[in-house]
Amino acid sequence: MSIKLLIADDHHVVRRGLVFFLKTQKDIEIVGEAKNGVEAVAMVKKFQPDVVLMDLVMPEMDGIEATREIKRALPSTEIMMLTSFSDQDHVVPAIEAGAAGYQLKDIEPDELADSIRKLMNGENTLHPKATSHLMTRVNQDEPSPHEVHQLTRRERDVLLELAKGKSNKEIASSLFITEKTVKTHISNLFSKLEVSDRTQAALYAVKHGLASPERKF
């Protein structure tokens, strides 16, 4: 099945360039182009794409607010930020709004296509700069979810593998368990860590220093 993709960017040349390249990918179908956040939200509701490539700074409604609206209306639609901004003031709000991916516009075209596929497979698609900013954002004022809801040893093992960007199949192979068991553990992790997807769980692990085998939970 092809990946239904919507592109939201206020720069016509950028949109056209993305469409021109991504149309060459046999497994990606462009279902719409939006030039601002308001159009993006409306088109998502109309076409129900699998993935939205979302610019951050756009007129009428920016990418962060559009992401928030889209995730509220269609939680299953994945959002990948594609922007020129890599500072913490843009990265963190975008992820908190519900973006599962964050890439910069200097990304190689083939790498962008691969990132879209990885996003659909539940793998991490965050630029290293984005990950770095999220690692530094730790709230010290109140107990973290993993401190309130203790993880089991196997849940910790799964979280470590998930933080490495591994798929369910790869995690199952590494831990010698079934994919069904992996899915159960990941569902429990989402609940205990108070996150909604694999990207947020992996970021949580990195952000709270849980992504190292030496870490004691």
CATH number at residue 168: 1.10.10.10
pLDDT at 216: 43
Tell me: do 55 and 69 sit in the same domain.
yes
Tell me the percentage of the chain whose pLDDT exceeds 90: 64
Residue 215 within any structural domain of the chain: no
pLDDT class for 129, splitting at 50, 70, 90? Answer: low
The residue range of the domain holding 67 is 3-137
pLDDT class for 85, splitting at 50, 70, 90? Answer: confident
Residue 64 within any structural domain of the chain: yes
Q: What tokens were used for 33?
A: 């182009």
pLDDT class for 197, splitting at 50, 70, 90? Answer: very high
The closest of 169, 173, 160, 94 to 127, measured between CA atoms, is 94
State the average pLDDT over residues 120-133: 69
Tell me: do 152 and 101 sit in the same domain.
no
Block residue for tokens 């085998």: 213
Tell me: do 18 and 119 sit in the same domain.
yes
Q: 28-34 and 3-8: which strand pairing?
A: parallel
Tell me: do 20 and 114 sit in the same domain.
yes
Residue 27 within any structural domain of the chain: yes
∠ CA 193-168-147, rounded to 5°: 15
52: which strand partners?
Answer: 6, 79
Boundary of a domain, candidates 74, 105, 137: 137
pLDDT at 13: 94
Q: C-alpha dihedral over 90, 91, 94, 96, to 10 degrees? A: -120
Contact by Cβ (8 Å): 99, 79:
yes
pLDDT score of 135 more than 60: no
State the average pLDDT over residues 42-64: 95
Residue 213 within any structural domain of the chain: no
Tell me: do 124 and 149 sit in the same domain.
no
54 vs 14, 15, 82, 108, 190, CA distance in Å? 12, 11, 6, 17, 25
Domain count, the chain: 2
Measured between alpha carbons, how far is 196 from 199 in angstroms, rounded to an integer? 9
Element at 101 (helix H, strand E): strand 101-104
Arithmetic mean of pLDDT over the chain: 88
- Sign of the alpha-carbon torsion through 85, 26, 43, 45: negative
The closest of 158, 187, 159 to 172, measured between CA atoms, is 158
Residue 217 within any structural domain of the chain: no
pLDDT at 1: 78
Boundary of a domain, candidates 109, 137, 165: 137
pLDDT score of 87 more than 80: no
Tell me: do 83 and 111 sit in the same domain.
yes
181: which strand partners?
Answer: none
Tell me: do 79 and 8 sit in the same domain.
yes
* CATH code, domain carrying 68: 3.40.50.2300
19-23, 86-90, 187-191, 200-204: range with lowest mean pLDDT: 86-90
Measured between alpha carbons, how far is 95 from 80 in angstroms, rounded to an integer? 10
Tell me: do 117 and 164 sit in the same domain.
no
Radius of gyration, alpha carbons of the chain: 17
